[in-house]
Amino acid sequence: MRKKLYLLPVLLLFLVLIVGCGTKPQGDPLEGPGKPTDGSSVTEPDGAEKDDPILSLLRESIQENNCTLGIAFIGYVDSESTSEDVYTYLKNSPAAQTYPFLRDSGLVVHEGAELYAFVPASKEASITVYQAGMTDSGEYEDHKDKTICQGGPGEVVVLRCNLSEIYSNVLISATDGAKTLEFHPMLSMKDGHVAAVPGCYDFSVYEDSEDKSIEIARDLLGETDEVQEAMKHGMELLYTGEQQMIGGKPHMLFALGTDHGDQFVREKLYAVSDNLIYAFNTETDQWQVLGTE
């Protein structure tokens, strides 16, 4: 069941019909020439810094995974909500807490109830959003003559789309001039995560799977020789409840140490995300991939 969007006070954002995501508003945003005709609206970005340190780290992580585009599912929003409502949801979302630059990115409000963010891997790459539909035979019908949004080089795009859980109503095209990646953003019906697409790097912050993620991360740590040896000598592994940004992605922090009843003495600190484990080197004051010290 899709979650309802609860209205909160927000800054007034103007609805405009523009060709590019970063184009200045022209005319009355609600009536006349500026009124959207395809059910979409585009809010001009406040100016997300292309050299924002967190954004730069995320780009590096996308490139390190040999991907062209980063994608994050931010959450469900009411399909009848306004641009102001969607922006309120965005700025208070866990994704925006982890990646603050999303609050200053171009917001595209198309028909749908799923909110996504798209980040080009390089500052030269750009994103174009086209309308898409489904034919009677169950095949995608892409309308490249109907552009919803044209992003500038390196521009981050936040998009509401998808009225159906079965198919997407948009086509995402990301290009850096040399290669182009095209796909229809969807959620997997298996676990509610972003459906895997070759060339896409998922940087979503999944709240509903936190407990499972902690369990998986703990098991992953427990399989390492270093942690196994320490636990044989009576040490324990403790999830701190905190996260550390490494390579533009949040990692869960685990402490390895001895429990003295009234005090837990930490001996080692680890950061885990997906199948990557980092250990904190106290001598260099840096995070290093476990086993490379």
Side chain identity at 12, as an amino acid letter?
A: L
Residue 78 to residue 115: CA distance in whole angstroms:
10
Classify burial at 69, counting beta carbons within 10 Å of its beta carbon; exposed 0-12, middle 13-18, buried 19 or more: buried
pLDDT tier for residue 262 given thresholds of 50, 70 and 90? confident
**Helices and strands in the chain, H and E counts:** 5, 15
Query: Which of helix, strand or coil describes residue 12?
Result: coil
Query: What digits encode the pLDDT tens for the residues 154-173?
Result: 999 999 999 988 899 999 99
Query: Does the pLDDT of residue 290 top 50, yes or no?
Result: yes
Residue 213 to residue 219: CA distance in whole angstroms:
10
Query: Does the pLDDT of residue 133 top 50, yes or no?
Result: yes
Bridge pairing between strands 249-259 and 236-246: antiparallel
- Percentage with pLDDT > 70 across the chain: 80
Return the closest-CA partner of residue 81 out of 131, 148, 10. Answer: 10
Q: What are phi and psi of 101, to 5 degrees?
A: -65, -20
Q: Are the C-beta atoms of residues 70 and 174 closer than 8 Å to each other? A: no
For residue 60, give the H/E element and its range. helix 53-64
Q: What is the mean pLDDT of residues 109-121?
A: 96
Query: Does the pLDDT of residue 10 top 80, yes or no?
Result: no
Query: What digits encode the pLDDT tens for the residues 230-240?
Result: 999 899 998 88
Query: What digits encode the pLDDT tens for the residues 171-229?
Result: 999 998 888 999 999 998 877 889 999 999 999 988 655 566 788 888 899 999 999 99
Q: Which residue has the higher pLDDT, 149 or 27?
A: 149
pTM: 0.62
Report pLDDT for 207.
67
Q: Are the C-beta atoms of residues 53 and 66 closer than 8 Å to each other? A: no
Query: What digits encode the pLDDT tens for the residues 216-253?
Result: 888 899 999 999 999 998 999 988 888 888 887 888 89
Report pLDDT for 43.
57
Longest pairwise C-alpha distance within the chain: 74
Residue 242 to residue 254: CA distance in whole angstroms:
8
pLDDT averaged over the chain? Answer: 81
Instruction: Report CA-CA distances (Å) from 178 to 20, 122, 181, 210.
Output: 21, 12, 10, 38
